[in-house]
Structure 1
């Protein structure tokens, strides 16, 4: 079921699946994505495992409130406040949080600042303390990713469906691992194009928000059981980031996905990832 929910003065697009009485899993996507990042079959597998799944569009993504391109009037802590307010609005006491990249930063802060709302954490493609903070002890991003940030490609013609879809597909390619799926990426891009309120805002504003005060030194305060899932070929946050995150959260465990980059769980990993999430959230 898809609907919108008003919290904190903005509107969030929300999609739910499964029985409301089952344990709730909240999916938090990465920057530049929307709830469509979580493929329906992946969600169906979690539902088949007895989970009530909630996916949400963060600000500036999907069907949630968008702001002028280049001028997001919010920071990372606002996304955390949105997640906490959404949990309350849905009448959920606690949720199992499954998060990716920027969503994993939100999840870490949610567990620190609203521990009563978080049953477990699953942190994928994450860095300890969040993106945007200086962490010289961790391995740097790959050269080709650094080049993307320093030599940003020109924006597409937003009025051209084909140009935007091609831009979306090629934007994913540098981050993927050994088994990039162009056809699957294109199908996902087409769904994103058809559903998103403001694609220019989605692909711009989430990357501009203020991460706020670093919190890596607080990771030892996290009490939620934590599973860290990371690709062995992540070019943005190399594996050392996941190893540090696992070491700094008490009792955390690490699942390494061979050949996977900085990307939402590829289909070929689901046979390992879904049982791991179901076991972790049981």
Structure 2
């Protein structure tokens, strides 16, 4: 008996070695993180807004004012804002990455076609590697969850969950 009824994977990967790397613009931008004075709120806010510019797709206009407001809130509520980048440093568990094909529950893979950090090919590969997977392609979307995509994403997750709730 599985521990979950369904899985939703959003803008992620199993890091298969034959998949394309992140775009150079992402590497260049995040290289700057080492130079950031994380004690200066205005510097951190500017870095955060810039990060979302780099990660955004072309489908929706970049809402700099809104992203700036979100960055301000993020800085206010954070106890250690520099830790926002820690997930990129996590290691261990690599042996599980080759076990993607063992996932045996209905899976919804959601991925943008313009994701510069985890290219779209990663989402396609996940959907192909998981036997019971469906792929929701977000045309023109990058690594962001733009609020104009929320309805589509929420509806897809809801339908996926409802569809498979009674099949287990």
Normalising by the smaller structure, the TM-score range is: 0.7 to 0.9
2:165 corresponds to which residue? none
Structure 2: 5+ residue stretches without partners: 163-168
1:119 corresponds to which residue? 5
2:134 corresponds to which residue? 253
Do the aligned partners of residues 205 and 237 (structure 1) sit closer, same or farther apart at CA in structure 2, a change above 3 Å counting? closer
Aligned mates of 1:161, 1:213 — CA distance in 2: 35
In the alignment, structure 1 residue 158 sits paired with structure 2 residue 38 = yes
Do the aligned partners of residues 235 and 268 (structure 1) sit closer, same or farther apart at CA in structure 2, a change above 3 Å counting? same
CA drift of 1:146 comes to 3.3
**1 or 2, which has the higher strand percentage?**
1
C-alpha offsets along residues 13-60 of structure 1, whole Å, 9 cap, x if unaligned?
xxxxxxxxxxxxxxxxxxxxxxxxxxxxxxxxxxxxxxxxxxxxxxxx
Candidates 62, 70, 73, aligned match of 1:191: 73
Structure 1: 5+ residue stretches without partners: 1-113
Kindly report the root-mean-square deviation, in angstroms, between the aligned alpha carbons of the 2 structures.
2.0
Following superposition, which runs of at least 4 residues in structure 1 exceed 4 angstroms of deviation? Answer: none
| Number of residue pairs the alignment of both structures matches | 160
Describe how 1:243-282 pairs up with structure 2 within 5 A: 243-263=124-144, 265-282=145-162
TM-score normalized by the length of structure 1: 0.52
Aligned mates of 2:88, 2:21 — CA distance in 1: 18
Do the aligned partners of residues 173 and 246 (structure 1) sit closer, same or farther apart at CA in structure 2, a change above 3 Å counting? same
CA drift of 1:115 comes to 4.2
**1 or 2, which has the higher helix percentage?**
2
CA drift of 1:220 comes to 1.8
Do the aligned partners of residues 140 and 161 (structure 1) sit closer, same or farther apart at CA in structure 2, a change above 3 Å counting? closer
3-state SS, counterpart of residue 214 of structure 1: helix
CA drift of 1:223 comes to 1.9
Candidates 139, 147, 165, aligned match of 2:28: 147
